[in-house]
Amino acid sequence: MGTTKEQAPPIVQPATKPDGSPLSGIYWEASNGLILGPAVPEFVAQDRDSSWIRITFEEAIRWINADRLRSKKAFDAQSLFHSRAQLGRNINGMKGSNRTK
């Protein structure tokens, strides 16, 4: 007889509030470091070691590991940072400026 333990299948349930209404949108950190979202959770899954949230984002079904979840505040801060970085590139790369030498 082997000594390996059988792993129970994950438990998958609809992602809803106790009253049955949908949850609020979530944000998560993608593998490239960007924080994406919002997307409304559709299902949650729990196995022995981790929790997962199933969403549909940009027409693709994704399972997000719960440890990748981020706040809306982090998402907004990232958006502000990228906007400022883009603005800086536009200003620094501007041709034909009216600056005097």
> What is the tens place of the pLDDT at every residue in 77-93?
997 776 655 544 544 44
**What range defines the domain where residue 35 resides?**
11-92
Of the candidates 73, 38, 84, the residue with the CA atom closest to the CA atom of residue 58: 38
Residue 73 counted as domain residue = yes
Question: What is residue 72's DSSP assignment?
Answer: H
Q: Is residue 6 part of a domain?
A: no
Number of structural domains in the chain: 1
What's the rounded Cα separation, in Å, for the pair 72 and 36?
10
Residue 84, domain CATH: 2.30.30
Number of residues written out for the chain = 101
Is position 85 within any domain? Answer: yes
Q: Is residue 54 part of a domain?
A: yes
Model confidence at 1: pLDDT above 80: no
Cβ–Cβ under 8 Å, residues 89 and 83: no
**pLDDT tens column, 38-76:** 999 999 999 888 999 999 999 999 999 999 999 999 999
**76 domain residue, yes or no:** yes
